[in-house]
A = this chain, B = another copy of it.
Amino acid sequence: MSEQALRIDEAELRGLLDGRWAGVRERARDVVRGELFAPVYGLSVEEHRERTLAQLLALAETDLPAYGFPASVGGRDDIGASVVAFEMLVADLSLMVKMGVQWGLFGGAIRALGTERHHAEFLPRVMSVELPGCFAMTETGHGSDVQSLRTTATYSPVTGDFLIETPDEAARKDYIGNAARDGRMAVVFARLRADGEDHGVHALLVPIRDEEGAPLPGVRIEDCGPKAGLNGVDNGRLWFDGVRVPRTNLLNRYGTVAPDGTYSSPIENPNRRFFTMLGTLIRGRISVAGGAGSAAKAALAIALRYADTRRQFTRPGSDGEPEREVRILDYLAHQRKLLPALARTYALHFAQEELVTRLHELSRAPRRDEHAQRELESRAAGLKAVATWHATETIQTCREACGGAGYLAENRIPQLKADSDIFTTFEGDNTVLLQQLTKGLLTNFQDSFGDLDTMGLTRFMAGKVFETVIERTAAIPLIERLIAASPGRGEDADLYNRGWQLELFEDREKHIIEGLAGRLRRSRKDGGDAFEVFNRAQDHVLAAGRAHMDRVVLEAFVAGIDRCGDKSTAKLLNRVCDLYVMSVIEEDRAWFLEHERLSTSRTKAVTRAVDDLCRGLRPYAVQLVDAFGLRDEWLGAPIALGSEHARQGDAAPARG
């Protein structure tokens, strides 16, 4: 890598990262400021909840909630903007999640699963937070396996209403945001029974509190109590005993019950109907991936600014230079902790932008494209998993990289860590999501998404020809051109040749998926029990999902750099991209060796390349992290805002 200094065009870089919804980001930067939105710590649970609600009410006064709602109720019908707005609320992740519950999950379910009449009746009050609500899906006994929920909604043609019941402890609604304190109504997911039949899981609007905030008759509410983080969000448990709601409270876009109890649905197959309904709720998952990205960016901003100023141990002066203590970011070990994480954060940022764009476009498509929808859902599952794992790992690393200062609440990292920790679990457990992604890859998105049951697997295992289809998700002509120009697999290919890198990632993905398909079918033929066969291959299944996401993320990064209008800035981004690629290869280099994709001298060269790239990028680290455009007051950490400069008696750099 050339050691020549590069000039970064800051406006160009910011514009590139802000992307299609730059206006929304700028709006959030204007709105989310001042005392009300500043990060705080040391509040009691009740104080934090009160503050978070006050923040939400203040946001309701702005134009931010309108993005996600239809024009018919005064919204702007801009789904992409609503996801980006969510992601910008990094000043307090409790507010981010509380907003997500109210407008994204509660409002989003009414929008996606309800019909015009539900929209007109409820959405205006959802937007204004006059009607605070819950998304009551998860039950204590069923988190990942939503299809097996046990709450029942039984229709009676006599009374013309639904009876909502919690049959046992496993069926209590658990971890429900907005339930413990503020929620007045809940979208309750329950098995719909009508006409003597179980029609599977549907959603209904169920009032849970009266105007004074007291639980309604038949509704029992329990507080989940203090949590590791997100204590501004009031999670609770709900039980229903003899609760009745009118027939019209069924969110009936995908299944309706006539007054006489006759059930009908535009989707015949109950399995397909269920997964179609779930699929409409994909926005929450995509939002969480974006929120995780913001949390990782904030932690990196704090840790890199601190490491750029903090000094430890003396480097002996050479040739008349005075002896001076070394900035800790000058140590290779410290660079290796933070810079590959920064590179991956960049890569994921571009992948997120692609995914949001895709979601947005499908939401406006004149007719439903089943294949595209399933590909979107698979990718959302995969990106949510890799982005939230990345955030958890990165924030942990940043905590340690800041030493004792990183443990103090005043420096923000503890709160970022604690708040974002649940992101790997909620909106879908990551391990389950990666398996759903791989299932989609195995079936080339033909089957119902998320259908992880063994019957589907049995069908798959009995299949014959299997060929992976690599579907590109970004800048298709560019990527194909680069791959076509790849020098191929030889020893001489430049490690930094983008076409070679793309081909390497693609080849790994294909090989892992095809190997998995073969393995599943072989074991099945040998008479293995389908569950056992799949279970024994579970690690292979997860590896397939990861390899797929590495490739998709790389393509998005390459496409992003291609949009950069400044040559020198693009050059720098290409180095960041190289660091992303080299650190992914380094991490999985055992695979490349085991499958004879790279020789041992090549993998050793990759390790040296990571070292070189870290050293080369070190001077730009602070600029790169500042380009994310997180306001200083959102970081709110003295160690990131000049306290270390001041302590050392250096002039503090000017910060915007």
On A, residues with C-beta under 8 Å from B are 41-42, 44-45, 138, 140-145, 148, 168-170, 174-175, 224-229, 311-316, 318, 325-326, 330-334, 336-337, 392, 396, 399-400, 403-404, 406-410, 413-414, 417-418, 421-422, 424-426, 429-431, 452-455, 529-531, 535-536, 538-539, 542, 589-590, 593-596, 600, 603-604, 607, 611, 646-649
Contacts and interface: CB of A to CB of B under 8 A. Distances in A.
Given A44-B44, A334-B431, 16 more contacts: A41-B226, A142-B312, A145-B313, A145-B325, A170-B647, A175-B407, A226-B408, A226-B410, A228-B413, A314-B453, A326-B531, A332-B536, A407-B421, A414-B418, A418-B418, A593-B600
A649 to B, nearest CB: 8
Nearest to A316: B454
Contact of A417 (B143, B174, B228, B313): B228
A630 B313 CA distance: 41
Contacts of A596: 600
A174 B647 CA distance: 13
B315 A409 contact: no
A175 B404 contact: yes
B332 A535 contact: yes
14 contacts: A143-B312, A170-B647, A175-B404, A224-B408, A227-B408, A228-B408, A229-B414, A313-B452, A315-B454, A316-B455, A400-B425, A404-B426, A539-B607, A590-B603
Listed from nearest, the 3 A-B pairs whose CB atoms lie closest are A228-B414, A226-B409, A590-B590
Given A228-B417, A647-B140, A422 B408 contact: no
A333 B430 CA distance: 11
Contacts of A312: 142-145
B407 A332 contact: no
Contact of A225 (B144, B400, B409): B409
A606 to B, nearest CB: 10
A399 B421 contact: yes
A648 B140 CA distance: 10
A326 B452 CA distance: 14
Nearest to A602: B594
Contacts of A42: 45, 225-226
A511 to B, nearest CB: 14
Contacts of A330: 535
Contacts of A168: 649
Contacts of A429: 403
Nearest to A426: B404
A228 B593 contact: no
Contacts of A535: 330-332
Residue among A44, A326, A400 with max Cβ neighbours from chain B (10 Å): A400
Nearest to A389: B400
A408 B539 contact: no
Residue among A41, A392, A409, A426 with max Cβ neighbours from chain B (10 Å): A409
A590 B600 CA distance: 9
A105 to B, nearest CB: 15
Given A408-B225, A611-B539, A431 B141 contact: no
A331 B170 contact: no
A49 to B, nearest CB: 13
A138 B316 contact: no
A410 B222 CA distance: 14
Contact of A333 (B408, B414, B542, B607): B542
B404 A396 contact: no
Nearest to A410: B225
Residue among A168, A315, A318, A603 with max Cβ neighbours from chain B (10 Å): A315
Nearest to A588: B590
Given A228-B409, A409-B226, A600-B596, A396 B403 contact: no
Contacts of A174: 404
A138 B44 CA distance: 31
A62 to B, nearest CB: 30
A170 B648 contact: yes
A396 B399 contact: no
Given A227-B408, A431-B333, A538-B333, A604 B593 contact: no
A309 to B, nearest CB: 11
A498 B312 CA distance: 43
Contacts of A536: 332, 611
Nearest to A587: B590
Contacts of A145: 312-314, 325
A650 B582 CA distance: 51
Contacts of A333: 431, 538-539, 542
Nearest to A593: B593
A142 B443 CA distance: 57
Contacts of A646: 169
A316 B532 CA distance: 11
Contacts of A594: 589, 593, 600, 603-604
A84 B611 CA distance: 41
A10 B400 CA distance: 38
A169 to B, nearest CB: 5
A403 B406 CA distance: 26
Nearest to A647: B169
A647 B590 contact: no
Residue among A143, A535, A649 with max Cβ neighbours from chain B (10 Å): A535
A400 B418 contact: no
Nearest to A224: B408
A607 B418 CA distance: 33
